[in-house]
Structure 1
Amino acid sequence: MSDVGQQGGRQDGRREPTRFGHTELPREQEEALRRAVRLAWVTIGFLVTAVVAVYVTMGSSQAMKAAWAEDLLSFIPPISFLVALHLTRKPPSPRHPYGHHRSIGVGHLVAGTSLVIMGTFLVWDSGSGLLKAEHPPIGVMEVGGHVVWSGWLMIAALAYTAVPPVLLGRAKMPLAEKLHDRVLYADADMNKADWMTAVGGIVGIVGVGVGWWWADAAAALFISGSILRDGVGNVRTAVTALMDARATTVDGKEVHPLVGRVDALLRGLPWVAEAGSRVRDEGHVFHVEGFVVPIGAPPSLEELAQARDALVALDWKVQDAVVVPCAELPDELLPGVGDEREDAPARGHDAG
């Protein structure tokens, strides 16, 4: 049983809350997490059957080999998600004072790197086959006493692998956004595009059947290119997050709206003249460093504590925050924010 399922153990009979480190999840995110775990296990179970079906029928087809390789690689994201989830539940320790949330980024990078390596190999393999004008033989098999063209079995296997991943991907995508989980998002994004792999493979097999010897290698090259593209995109997003870039949405395309809300909250404090922040994405959660220029006298410890508590209460993703009073905003610590600081409150209120 997963960690998420082991919630009842309190002597007073109440259910233990689900946590990322010491961050307690709201009910909506808790339910999303439970469903995401179930979908990860369903995905793994489906992939076992898909890998077997494609392997048994692939013969010497390059397109089938590429589809089989993609199915094998598809194990990595859901397994990475489950392993990273287990690690993120560990509380901070003296050795890991920020907790273990970076395991999400590490899992994302591992999945992306695997895709790049395998995609590069398959592009070379299928491309060389196309250049060498290799003619893949697709023979016949005896099934139930009847002689059947092997291509039909290949097409049936590919058709079987086409629909379930798309449905799983569509189910995972909103959960990834609610949990701010990039491994789950990468898994969902790959699943949604898997139908193209199946259709490309089917077109290649049919092409060979009608005498187009190049169709199989061309389909394999298409599938390989899709794998490589997914890998490059995931590696780029994972590396950017691990290098402490400003927090972005789960797809890595836009600044996270919570950044604007943080700045707006700090500027709205009655004793603050000017404020700015650095928001670091730790995985599921964010770490906020707020810099404030007070009006007149320095703030009291109570005012600083209230400001910090307000930041933590702003959103469940704000796992921890520090508020630093200063005479002026440290531009060297907040590079390039100039005009953006003026726009952030508006974006924050819109997002809220």
Structure 2
Amino acid sequence: MKGIASFELPEELKKVLKEAIRLEWITIFYLLSVIVVMFLTMGSSQAMKTAWLEDLLSLIPSISFLIATRINKKPPDEKFRYGYHRVYSIAFLVGASALLGMGLFMIYDSSMSLIKLEHPSIGNKTFFGKQVWMGWVMILALVYSSIPAMILGFKKLPKAKKLHNKILYTDAEAQKADYMTAFAAMAGIIGIGAGLWWADSAAALFIALSVVKDGFKYISTAVKDLMDRYPVTLKKQKKDPLIDEIEDLVLGLDWVEDAKIRFRENGQVYVGEVAIIPKGKLIIENLEKVNVMLLNYHWKINDVSIIPVKELPSW
């Protein structure tokens, strides 16, 4: 039974983390192959170029997760007394910033193609003595860039929820929705084939706007976490019900007159304080028991201070 802050995941979650790490390594090697295939087939298509850039960006969450996980394993030291949990929040912010920056560049690049009235063309190439329209080759490359990614995204999603890990979760959500990028790029390619020169740049612009939207959303979440917002659920970004459970737990103790709690996210775990107005004479052992009880209540509760007060604070 732990009575001080724990800096390790429960055994069952260690297995989940190990599997998540394995999936991220698979993702990196897969994306590297996609980047090569897309580069070799994109030709003059703006939509293919934008999809290729998005695949390049997709490496950032996987690499960030692996680096952050390695750093997060380090125990607290003289410099970082609270441990290295917040490295996940920092990595999340860096990844979101890169996503937004590249998305804005992609919007500029796609818009300029429309403004300049550029007319991309997709030619034919000879394969085994037969003429093949390169648009079909591009579409095959897009299928390869999306379907395996979707499968990886669906596999990562439940692991991200169990670990309460935002980098892993956003990576999984983005890969799960990769088919949208592929369909947009395919529409652009088919548009070129049908003589609609603007369809390619329009498809690229759609992809770029999607990237920018995600970049803004993720930066907003990352900044709020670093500003010590109360803990929220991954999907709906609403207050984690675990916080209210803890408050009810403390208020239900027979020696507690009143109590107030506050927690913040520290990477994938929570740290916080519990202010208690005791009934009658304060017994130190009771404070120690509350500390042990809360640290054992849920793995997310990583560090908690129990503060006896005469009057509840305003937080």
Shorter-chain TM-score bucket reads: over 0.9
Match of 1:262 among 246, 253, 257: 246
Q: Describe how 1:1-352 pairs up with structure 2 within 5 A.
A: 22-251=6-235, 253-297=237-281, 299-331=282-314, 334=315
- Separation of aligned partners in 2, 1:170 and 1:276: 39
| Matched-pair contact (CA < 8 Å) for 1:237–1:252 | no
CA distance in 2, matches of 1:312, 1:252: 26
Alpha-carbon contact 1:182-1:251 (below 8 Å) kept: no
* SS of 2:82 mapped into structure 1: coil
Q: Hey, what's the Cα distance between the residues in 2 that align with 1:242 and 1:293?
A: 30
Structure 2 residue aligned with 1:4: none
Cα deviation for residue 143 of structure 1 reads: 2.2
| Offset from partner CA, 1:105-128 (integer Å, 9 cap, x none) | 011001100110000010111012
Paired AA for residue 92 in structure 1? P
Structure 1 portions without partners, runs of 5+:
1-20, 335-352
Q: Is the 8 A contact 2:38 2:141 kept in 1?
A: yes
**Structure 2 counterpart of 1:30, one-letter code:** K
Q: Name the residue aligned to 1:345.
A: none
- Deviations 1:269-294 (Å, cap 9, x if unpaired)? 21111111110110121112101111
1:37 and 1:119 map into 2 onto residues whose CA distance is: 27
Secondary structure of 1:147's partner?
Answer: strand
Which whole-Å CA distance do the structure 2 matches of 1:48 and 1:200 have between them?
21
CA offsets per residue over residues 33-86 of structure 1, 9 Å max, x none?
A: 111111101111110111011000001110000000000000000110000000
Give the total of aligned pairs. 311
* Paired residues of 1:162 and 1:199 also in contact (CA < 8 A): no
Q: Whole-Å Cα distance in 2 between the matches of residues 167 and 294 of structure 1?
A: 53
The code of the aligned residue for 2:225 comes to A
Could you tell me which amino acid in structure 1 is paired with residue 210 of structure 2?
A: S
Show CA shifts across 1:314-352 (max 9, x none): 101111111001011111xx1xxxxxxxxxxxxxxxxxx
CA contact (8 A) 1:263 1:276 kept: yes
Give the TM-score of the pair, scaled to structure 1. 0.86
Structure 2 residue runs of 5 or longer lacking an equivalent are none
Amino acid at match of 2:308: P
Native 8 Å contact 2:7 2:83 kept in 1: no
| Higher RCO (Cα < 8 Å, 6 or more apart) | 2
Give the Cα–Cα distance (whole angstroms) in 1 for the partners of residues 87 and 18 of structure 2. Answer: 19
Q: CA RMSD in A?
A: 1.2
Give the letter aligned to residue 320 of structure 1.
D
TM-score by length of 2: 0.96
Where in structure 1 do 4 or more consecutive aligned residues deviate above 3 Å? none
Residue range with higher mean Cα deviation, 140-149 or 83-92: 140-149
Q: CA deviation at 1:23?
A: 2.7
Q: How far apart, in 1, do the equivalents of 2:274 and 2:144 lie?
A: 52
